[in-house]
Amino acid sequence: MRSAVLRELERRVEALEVQPSAQPSQQAVAATGIPPLDALLPEGGLPRGQAIEWAGPRSCGKTALLRAALARLHGMGEPVVMVDASRTLYAPDWTPLMGGEPFWVVRPPRENEALWCADLLLRSGAFGVVALETDAGLARSPVVRLQRLAEKTGAVFVVLGSLPLAALRLRFRPGRLEPVAGVFGPALPAVRPVWVDVGKGGSDEIPILCPSPAGRGVQPLLRDRKGPR
Amino acid sequence: MGGWTRIASVWVPESDTEGGAATALAVALLAASPRVSRVGNGLCRLDAGGWARRGGEEAFVRRVRMVAAEAGFPAARVGLADTGIVADAASRLAAAEPRIVPPGHGRAFLASLPLTLLPISDELRATLHALGLRRIGEVAARGRNELETRFGPEGTRAHRWSCGQDEDGVFRPITSEELPEASFELEGPHTSLEPLLFVLRHLLARVCGDLVGEGRCAARLVLELELGDRSRRPTTITPARPTAQEALLFDLCRAALEREFEVDCLAAPVTTLTLRVRERASAEARQGDLFVREPRDPLKASAALVRLHARLGDEAVVRPAPCPDHRPEARNEWTPVEARRASGGAGSSRATSGTMATADGGTASDDGGAKGDTDGDVIPAVLRLLPRPLPVCVRSVEGRPAEVWDERGHHEVTAAEGPERLSGEWWKAPYRREYFRVCTSEGELLWLFREGTATRSTSTGGSLEGERLSRERCAESAESAESVESAESDWRLHGWWD
């Protein structure tokens, strides 16, 4: 009887050892949920405990892709925090991340405090994902310190901007946008391409929705008082 | 006996107890008693009340000596009595064995002792000697008025001490609830944070030790600073969830202290630090998992939030809470995260209202993108809204932007959508705008608007001088200044899609 119980326990332990953990925080990488991007990333996701560069010029789609990745990780139960040093995030775009696990945005009054915020948040070990967005160029030593903290806590640490050193560099650039014929001249297409380059992983094109599909106004939330009834 | 106030004095005869060594001894004594007061001259007083019910005062004295020996002071002498002055004298008399003065016998104990054991000035001691008073009891036998008349306040104090009475109550009685608390009276007033943090760590060790011993957690604590001007500054600390974790509570208390020092600017130096548990809760046991690492602790998130609040202000940590307003900048509302709610759960009620969770330009309004994930659909664009619209120069053709000059240079417009007119609030801050979504030859998606002349200087804070400067900056970035001159300058860049 006793040996049977032991055998059964051994079998269960072996099953648990080979089975990948259901907990997202246990995995070495965090999948972004964006298939073309995950296909480019080593091991199919963002590495935990590493500094990740997430860079590109204005309008290259990097924030849209980051938001999609954060929303996916947040939905998987990861507490997410974002340091918005430039204070340009637009609240209605980020409400989908509300609910469930904590989602905070830290908006330091002075941009030079962004690094301190990231240090504190990573050090706390309470967050699975820490995203730092700052226009200020980062020096090497604070990035090394932040990377060590991320490594210690197993957090995904993404910097929206250029890094002097990074375990993974994702570079985004806008693809060619083909205008469509509109009533008053060339108009925006429904979808635009964004190129992502992951170093040795290669590069690929990811489609992103253009703002304002036809027929939708500036204020989709509020009824247009002057419009047709 | 347990209801009486009992005070223990610890005296280290060596002169090496000054400075850091004395502080080290005092904080080490917190392990023996929750309340410690430094008197000076190598003396520390400890609250020894209630030990009659917990193994007797002999056990307490043994513990004090053991703690002092572990702290590197094996020669520490201990005295125990009803009042501090009697305990001080007893400790200085005690040689190898500690001396415990029974309750109510303080005056009799002092009567036969020499005047050198009273902390009076050398001048007064010499005068009393000259008058033939050699023993403390002889001073106590004199009338109080007589000493006051002759020596003033110092005489009154000497008489009170000789009768075995303290000037003030050294320690306040513990409340009937007996909630854990610890306090530390600093030897001198302190204006810097570091010594307080040093003491705080030991106070927390004491309080958390008591809580763990009871199997309870702290739901609410009060950290009280007593200042040099006798005023008290209590700060309530409420962890997101009841806890007895020392490191976590230290972070919360440190944030409170930093706020007191850096934001609120204390009126006087700190003399005493007290930590009281105001509310307790049962310790919660969480089911662990043999094969899963420690999950993210929401209490740590709360501690981080408190530190962020302390340093950056309450508005620094926010959640999105869009406001139903027509103007994009008014809709871009963020609500501060409260410390109590930092550990999770939904945010503000406004933020979770379904129809508000949308993006401008309709990119994430009522399509699949509003869920925030891709779900196989195309990812919606995200708007980056400038805190203040930036003046730009635009050359328009038939009212539609064709070229844009901003601080980054010249951009040719390859596609434009609009105008979408927005106006309102004529009763307070009128605005009238025409928004365009434009795509430049570099692939940038900009959000521009042209402002009506009647409202230009009010709704976006623009001015003629600002427009002139904007035009100059645009001209600097352009190859041909003439083309900029022909451009219209009543345009603003409100953001871009990224």
pLDDT at B456: 45
Out of A120-129, B31-40, B262-271, which region has the weakest mean confidence (pLDDT)?
B262-271
Residue A142: alpha-carbon gap to chain centroid: 21
Could you give the CA distance from residue A141 to residue B133 in angstroms, rounded to a whole number? 71
Q: Which residues pair with A92 in a beta bridge?
A: none
Mean pLDDT of B390-418: 87
> What sign does the CA torsion over B472, B477, B482, B485 have?
negative
At residue B294, does pLDDT exceed 80?
no
Residue A111: alpha-carbon gap to chain centroid: 21
Mode of pairing for the β-strands spanning B181-190 and B35-40: parallel
For residue B38, with 0-12 CB atoms within 10 Å meaning exposed, 13-18 middle and 19 or more buried, which class applies?
buried
Structure tokens at B360: 């401008």
pLDDT at B322: 86
pLDDT band at A84 (very low <50, low <70, confident <90, very high): very high
Asked if the Cβ–Cβ distance from A93 to B352 is below 8 Å, we say no
DSSP class of residue A101 equals S
H or E stretch including B252? helix B246-258
pLDDT at A225: 54
Nearest to A168 by CA among A153, A185, A152, A147: A147
- Which residue has better confidence, A15 or A81? A81
Average pLDDT, chain B: 77
Asked if the Cβ–Cβ distance from B344 to A127 is below 8 Å, we say no
Out of A12-16, A32-36, B370-374, which region has the weakest mean confidence (pLDDT)?
B370-374
Mean pLDDT of A104-122: 91
Residue B117 amino acid letter: L
H or E stretch including B472? helix B464-477
Q: Does residue B415 sit in helix, strand or coil? A: strand
Give yes or no for A213 touching B (CB within 8 A).
yes
Give yes or no for A198 touching B (CB within 8 A).
no
Instruction: Read off φ and ψ for residue A167, nearest 5 degrees.
Output: -75, -30
pLDDT at B94: 63
Residue of A nearest to B350 (CA): A95
- Percent of chain B past pLDDT 90, that is, above it, reads 4
Residues 6+ apart with CB under 8 A from A215: none
Q: Rounded to two decimals, what is the model's pTM? A: 0.63
For chain A, positions 149-188, list CB contacts with chain B under 8 A: 154, 173-177, 179-180, 182, 184-188
Mean pLDDT of A90-104: 79
Q: Which chain B residues are within 8 Å of A33, Cβ to Cβ?
A: 373-374
Q: Are B405 and A106 in contact (CB under 8 A)?
A: no
Q: Which chain A residues are within 8 Å of B439, Cβ to Cβ?
A: 177, 179, 188
Q: Are B51 and B44 in contact (CB under 8 A)?
A: no
pLDDT at A67: 93
For chain B, positions 269-328, list CB contacts with chain A under 8 A: 291-293, 295-301, 303-305, 307-308, 311-313, 315-322, 324, 326, 328
Q: How many CB pairs under 8 A join A and B?
A: 295
Asked if the Cβ–Cβ distance from B301 to A127 is below 8 Å, we say yes
To probe the interface with A, which of B439, B442, B449 has the most A CB atoms within 10 Å? B439
Nearest to B34 by CA among B205, B188, B177: B205
Q: Which chain A residues are within 8 Å of B445, Cβ to Cβ?
A: 59, 188, 192, 210-211
Of all residues in chain A, what percent are helix, strand and coil, respectively (each to 5)? 35, 25, 40
Of all residues in chain B, what percent are helix, strand and coil, respectively (each to 5)? 35, 30, 35
Average pLDDT, chain A: 83
Nearest to B93 by CA among B104, B79, B105, B112: B79
Asked if the Cβ–Cβ distance from B308 to A117 is below 8 Å, we say yes
Could you give the CA distance from residue B38 to residue B151 in angstroms, rounded to a whole number? 27
pLDDT at B363: 39
Mean pLDDT of B210-226: 86
Nearest to A144 by CA among A120, A119, A162, A127: A119
Q: Which residues pair with B446 in a beta bridge?
A: B438, B496
Mean pLDDT of B433-453: 86
Asked if the Cβ–Cβ distance from B379 to A209 is below 8 Å, we say yes
Between CA B61 and CA B64, with CA B62 as vertex, the angle to 5 degrees is 65
Per-residue burial over B441-473, b = 16 or more CB atoms within 10 Å of its CB, e = otherwise: ebbbbbbbbbbeeebbeebbebeeeebeebbeb
What is the phi-psi region of residue B473: left when phi exceeds 0, alpha when psi lies from -120 to 50, beta otherwise? alpha
Q: Are B44 and B186 in contact (CB under 8 A)?
A: no
Nearest to B40 by CA among B61, B67, B12, B64: B12
Q: What is the per-residue pLDDT across A136-195, written as a single tens digit (0 to 9) for each?
A: 778 899 999 999 999 998 899 999 988 898 889 999 998 888 888 877 788 888 888 899
For chain B, positions 435-464, list CB contacts with chain A under 8 A: 435, 437, 439, 442-447
DSSP class of residue B260 equals I
Q: Which chain A residues are within 8 Å of B313, Cβ to Cβ?
A: 109
- CA distances from residue B135 to B110, B131, B159, B161 in whole angstroms, order as listed: 8, 12, 12, 12
> What sign does the CA torsion over B101, B106, B108, B111 have?
positive
Nearest by CB to A60, which of B291, B312, B498? B498
Residue B361 amino acid letter: G
Asked if the Cβ–Cβ distance from A176 to B311 is below 8 Å, we say no
Q: Which residues pair with B226 in a beta bridge?
A: B232, B272
pLDDT at A17: 60
Q: Which chain A residues are within 8 Å of B412, Cβ to Cβ?
A: none
Could you give the CA distance from residue B429 to residue B435 in angstroms, rounded to a whole number? 18
Q: Are A174 and A155 in contact (CB under 8 A)?
A: no
Count of CB atoms situated within 10 Å of the CB of B282: 11
- The DSSP code sequence of A144-213 is HHHHHHHHHHT-EEEEES--SS-SEEEEEEE-----EEETTEEE--SEEEEEEE-GGG-EEEEEEEPSS-
Could you give the CA distance from residue A124 to residue A115 in angstroms, rounded to a whole number? 14
Nearest by CB to B320, which of A16, A61, A91? A91
Q: Are B394 and B487 in contact (CB under 8 A)?
A: yes
Closest-CA distance, B274 to chain A, in angstroms, reads 26
Residue B396 amino acid letter: S
Structure tokens at A96: 């989908």
Closest-CA distance, A48 to chain B, in angstroms, reads 14
Give yes or no for B118 touching A (CB within 8 A).
no
pLDDT at A212: 63
Could you give the CA distance from residue A57 to residue B498 in angstroms, rounded to a whole number? 9
At residue A45, does pLDDT exceed 70?
yes
Nearest by CB to B381, which of A58, A127, A209? A209
Q: Are A49 and A150 in contact (CB under 8 A)?
A: yes
Count of CB atoms situated within 10 Å of the CB of B264: 10
Q: Could you report how far apart the first and last alpha carbons of chain B are, in Å?
A: 75
Give yes or no for B16 touching A (CB within 8 A).
no
Mode of pairing for the β-strands spanning A156-160 and A129-133: parallel
